[in-house]
């Protein structure tokens, strides 16, 4: 079954959970690993991220879209393009808790963005019991995440739930990805903070072949590394 959880808080156990937070956490994780970070340590809260601080680690994260106080980076994907070390620590309002929640309920967790859409689809071929987890924005269902869930679902084979077909209808309603992102409540916050360039960046489709994957969970921290290529 292909199913969609419309909120990170609605996650349930599944064979494979695919977490989606297009604006911006899962886009940031995708680019960070593609850029050379060896792993991303995803924390459920800002305080948990702070507790992971070492001289070798880079802290990234946001509160209300803006960089978290005392952090090295915000949550703009492009800030991760030049790695400062092997490990990025990430704490965000919606996507990071969704990843931690998915990691607590499913052994196999992938991280999807528009940036790596085709690569994620390649990883999902032949899998059953797929749950596409939309992070949402500030506790509310968000357009851009349901849009990407629908893009993914539409390309997968197998029975699908009503939720998956709802997401597919949303994806079909926006021929151009940037329109789905700009239609979202998340975009409003980014415009407010002068971060609108993140929207255009995150709307790029299948420009990265990296698929982030849960390697392990340590003390509630989800350790995300690059998945092996499918079929290897």
Which residues of the shown chain bind its own copies in the complex (CB under 8 A)?
3-4, 6, 137, 140-143, 146, 161-163, 165-166, 169-170, 172-174, 183-185
The residue written with tokens 């596409």 in the block is 132
Task: Give helix 143-154 / helix 162-173 axis angle, nearest 10°.
Answer: 100
* Nearest distance in Å: CB 58, its own copies: 31
* Nearest distance in Å: CB 101, its own copies: 16
* Nearest distance in Å: CB 79, its own copies: 26
CB closer to its own copies out of 44 and 136: 136
* Nearest distance in Å: CB 75, its own copies: 19
CB closer to its own copies out of 96 and 149: 149
* Nearest distance in Å: CB 163, its own copies: 4
CB closer to its own copies out of 56 and 159: 159
Question: Which residues have a Cβ under 8 Å from the Cβ of 29 and sit 6 or more positions away?
Answer: 40, 42, 90, 111, 113, 212, 224
CB closer to its own copies out of 189 and 212: 189
CB closer to its own copies out of 6 and 71: 6
Q: What is the 3-state secondary structure (H, E, C) of 25-65?
A: HHHHHHHHHHHCCCEEEEECCHHHHHHCCCCCCEEEEEECC
Distance separating alpha carbons of residues 52 and 227, to the nearest angstrom: 23
Instruction: Residue count of the chain, please give it.
Output: 232
């Amino acid at each position: 079954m292909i199913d969609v959880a419309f909120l990170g808080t609605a996650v349930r156990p599944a064979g494979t959970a695919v977490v989606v937070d297009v604006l911006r956490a899962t886009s940031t994780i995708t680019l960070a690993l593609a850029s050379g970070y060896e792993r991303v340590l995803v924390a459920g809260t800002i305080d948990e991220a702070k507790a992971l601080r070492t001289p070798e680690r880079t802290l990234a994260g946001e509160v209300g879209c803006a960089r978290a106080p005392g952090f090295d980076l915000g949550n703009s994907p492009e800030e991760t393009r030049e790695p400062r070390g092997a490990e990025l620590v990430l704490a965000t309002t919606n996507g990071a808790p969704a990843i931690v929640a998915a990691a607590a309920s499913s052994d196999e967790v992938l991280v999807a963005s528009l940036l790596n859409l085709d690569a994620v689809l390649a990883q999902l071929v032949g899998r059953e019991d797929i749950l596409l987890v939309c992070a949402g924005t500030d506790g509310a269902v968000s357009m851009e995440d349901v849009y990407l869930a629908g893009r993914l679902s539409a390309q997968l084979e197998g029975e699908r739930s009503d939720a998956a077909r709802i997401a597919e209808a949303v994806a079909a309603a926006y021929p151009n990805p940037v329109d789905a992102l700009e239609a979202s409540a998340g975009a409003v916050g980014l415009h407010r903070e002068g971060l609108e360039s993140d929207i255009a960046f995150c709307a790029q489709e299948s420009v990265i072949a990296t698929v982030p994957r849960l390697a392990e969970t340590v003390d509630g921290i989800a350790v995300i590394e690059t998945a092996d290529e499918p079929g290897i």
